[in-house]
Chain A
Amino acid sequence: MVTGKGGTGKTSVAAALALGLAAGGRRTLLVEVEGRQGIAQLFGLDPLPYAEKRIAGTTGGGEVRALAVDPEEALLEYLDMFYKLGAAGRALRKVGAIDFATTIAPGLRDVLLTGKVKEATTRAQDGRRVYDAVVLDAPPTGRIGRFLNVTAETARLAKMGPIKTQSEGVSSLLRSPMTAVHVVTLLEEMPVQESLDAIAELTDLHIPVGRIIVNGARPALLTGGKVTKAEVKRGLTAAGLPAATATVSQLTAEAQAHLTRRELEESLRLELAELGRPMIELPQLPGGVDLDGLDDLAARLLHA
């Protein structure tokens, strides 16, 4: 599972993780559940259907498949599996009953979504798991605890029956060593605060927290911590560049702003480090996140 505050790049990190884990002839499934079609946009594809579709190949014949889980489709699939609805199921959809059912019980929706992830994770063919790993681009930090705490939400409404059984199955998988929730953050105040809150919440729920992934980390420049105009002027002259007052002033001001930012980043990094959890830093990609960039991030995640 990959979570993170909105804007931290959790979809890119989830995609990179799915690519990395598929290296060397393995097969992974990258799943999204919020109907945003973030995976399709990232890979430059048409919107994904509710089907597991190959989106990338990796070394050694490995591949990444992607799935956009839709709660309505998941409910129909679920009903069909247990109750053989056929045409009646389509009629139900026509009158909006499926939308209705996934809407009335807030927990039901999440059980269906996480239930589909569980099904894919545990699916086997010829005695072998179909996927070596399933990576979920999970809801953001603000909603992750509620999303994953499926039993509590459904227990409020369903006291017995298959939904309860289903949610208990999901719940025990989520609390097993097969699961890790990775938290993506930027070195900015709000994402770090939300990451700390989410990690505390998940820990309370006994859901295993994986790594803290610091995304968009800047290179460590000016580690000496200070810069003067005189020094910049001297350096520019040494490089044979024009050292006009305006140039020197602007470059020095940019360097000062960088130092201010870095000091804040350093204190946020310390705050995260105090949790004592494994941390990975992914660099800011100069060209933004494109497909090459994803491969780069995948390699870094894999070798971290």
Chain B
Amino acid sequence: MADLTAAPLDVDGLLADPAIRIVVCCGAGGVGKTTTAAALGLRAAEVHGRRTVVLTIDPARRLAQSMGLTELDNTPRQVKGIDPAGGGELHAMMLDMKRTFDEVVEQHTRPERAAEIFANPFYQAMSSTFAGTQEYMAMEKLGQLRAADEWDLIVVDTPPSRSALDFLDAPARLSRFLDGRMLRMLLAPARTGGRSMFSLVTASFGMFSRVVQKILGAQLLTDLSGFVAALDSMFGGFRQRADQTYRILQDPQTAFLLVAAPERDAVREAAYFAERLVAERMPLSGLVLNRMHQTEPAGLTAEQSEAAAAELEAAGDSAVTVDVLRIHASLLRQSERESRVARTFTDAFPDVPTTAVAAQPADVHDVDGLRTIGALLASPAA
């Protein structure tokens, strides 16, 4: 990581700062977000003595088990095996998307209305499969955890979206949907008159409604209408909460960390996200480059190693050294390629501090492994 243009990210400074209350880890799927979030949480608790909770969305089974998480139960549980010397605590929880949604409904409406909503097939479909519900509920849960004010630090792992941006957009999209303007227009009988554009729109809507009825059937429209009526009282509440969480995310108490692996797609995604965070005035604190292969030539360049391997092989000698030299050469080339990919980000965002985590020979699935990752995150990118 010798030649990245960015300044090193001071992870310990961030985790120790009492003004920072929320760390959001975001990035493309498969880059190690959950592991990064868990390792940051552990380090905040053990090294910086903070009472920390990690909110995970969809952790790998063994990683979840390593933190004592066995089910989606929406309850933070204290992680065992943490060094208590620093006075900190680590808790972890897995998001239960449907239960979180149910709780929001219960909070905003009368019990009999809630029962009606829960029974509606649209609610059932939306609360478990709506593209964006997971993102919205993750933000809702974050809002709840922050409001409870029981934690020094909340570390959030964002959902494995098709695109990292979904998680910023989904709350607004869902709240727009729940706002129901479109639903009401759709269900209202077509009006006549008005301005020309308006009448074209309402005329289309009458027809749209007929088309929908043709395509989807009358039962579906009845269910939809019931759903809208039942949710009507809650629209304001939903929007307000989404706006509130959005404002917390913009606040300097929050730190966004982009997580990427040194691969073109992941780095491109990180760059999109960085642009977006800047545009939304969200506090972008740094970039974490996971799984970097960093190696030094140690007196032997890739070319020298390959040439020597070929020579030894031709001589039919030192088979082990032949392979050792080839491993060395391929590591050097990989390291060079990864730095090149990483530089496409750091050149474009020279102001975003960066830290690199070396690729581990084996996958992380225990507290010791997380501790190692935490230390690597905090060590200055040399």
0/1 per residue, A87-105, Cβ < 8 Å to B? 0100110111100110111
Contact with B along A170-210 (1 / 0, CB 8 A): 00000000000000000011110100000000000000000
Whether, in the assembled complex, B147 has its beta carbon less than 8 Å from a beta carbon of chain A, the answer is: no
Of the 9-residue stretches A17-25, A121-129, A243-251, A273-281, which lies at the interface with chain B? A243-251
In the complex, the answer to whether A7 meets B328 with C-beta atoms within 8 Å is no
CB of A254 within 8 A of CB of B361, answer: no
Partner of B298, one of A36, A91, A224, A247: A247
- Residue of chain A at shortest CB distance from B365: A189
Query: Once the chains bind, are A158 and B216 in contact (CB under 8 Å)?
Result: yes
B321 interface residue (CB < 8 Å to A):
yes
Residues on A with C-beta less than 8 A from B151 are: none
The distance in angstroms between the C-alpha atoms of A83 and B261, with both chains bound, is 47
Residues of B near A238 (CB, < 8 A) are 312, 315, 317-318, 321
- A34 in the interface, Cβ–Cβ < 8 Å? yes
Chain A hits for B243, CB < 8 A:
none
B30→A6 contact, CB < 8 A: yes
**Quick check: A189 and B363 within 8 Å, CB to CB?**
yes
Given contacts A106-B129, A190-B60, A235-B320, contact A250 B162 (CB under 8 A): no
Which of A51-59, A139-147, A294-302 touches B?
A139-147
Query: Are B129 and A188 touching (Cβ within 8 A)?
Result: no
At the interface, is chain A mostly helix, strand, loop or mixed? helix
Nearest B residue to A8 via CB reads B30
B348 within 8 A of A: no
Q: With A88-B203, A139-B162, A163-B215 in contact, is A109–B324 under 8 Å at CB?
A: no
Residues of the A chain whose Cβ atoms lie less than 8 Å from the Cβ of B298? 246-247, 250-251
Quick check: B327 and A221 within 8 Å, CB to CB? yes
Query: CA separation between A221 and B212, bound complex, in Å?
Result: 61
Taken residue by residue from 23 to 58, chain B's Cβ proximity to chain A (1 for < 8 Å, 0 otherwise) reads as: 000001111000000000000000000000000001
Task: From B125, B265, B320, give the contact of A106 (CB < 8 A).
Answer: B125
Structural contact, A251 and B328, CB atoms closer than 8 A: yes
B30 and A261 form a contact (CB under 8 A): no
Q: What sequence of 0s and 1s flags, for each residue 278-316 of chain B, a beta carbon within 8 Å of any chain A beta carbon?
A: 000000000000000001101110001000100110010
B121 contacts partner chain A, Cβ-Cβ < 8 Å: yes
Q: Do B208 and A97 touch (CB < 8 A)?
A: yes
Number of chain A interface residues as a range: 35 or more
Min distance, Cβ A262 to any Cβ of chain B, angstroms: 9
Instruction: Flag whether A304 is at the interface (Cβ < 8 A).
Output: no
Inter-chain contact A96/B182, CB cutoff 8 Å = yes
Question: By CB atoms of chain A within 10 A, which of B122, B205, B266, B324 has the most?
Answer: B324
Kindly state whether residue A45 has any CB partner on chain B within 8 Å: no
Nearest CB on B from A188, distance (A): 7
Interchain CB contact under 8 A, A161 and B299 = no
A254-B331 contact in complex given A100-B182, A232-B324, C-beta closer than 8 Å = yes
Residues A286 and B330 in contact, CB atoms below 8 Å apart = yes
A261 touching B31 in the complex, CB below 8 Å, given contacts A246-B298, A254-B328, A286-B333: no
Whether B308 pairs with A7 at a CB distance below 8 angstroms is no
Given contacts A103-B130, A159-B220, A163-B215, 4 further A-B contacts (CB under 8 A): A95-B201, A156-B121, A158-B220, A235-B318
11 contacts between A and B (CB under 8 A): A34-B162, A88-B207, A97-B186, A100-B186, A158-B215, A158-B216, A160-B217, A161-B214, A231-B320, A241-B308, A264-B362
Interface residues of B (CB under 8 A from A): 28-31, 58, 60-62, 121-122, 124-126, 129-131, 160, 162-163, 173, 177, 182-183, 185-186, 200-201, 203-205, 207-208, 211-212, 214-217, 219-220, 223-224, 261, 263-266, 268, 295-296, 298-300, 304, 308, 311-312, 315, 317-328, 330-331, 333, 337, 341, 361-363, 365
For the complex of A and B, list the 7 residue pairs with the smallest distance between their C-beta atoms, beginning with the closest.
A235-B321, A6-B29, A7-B30, A235-B318, A6-B30, A221-B323, A260-B361
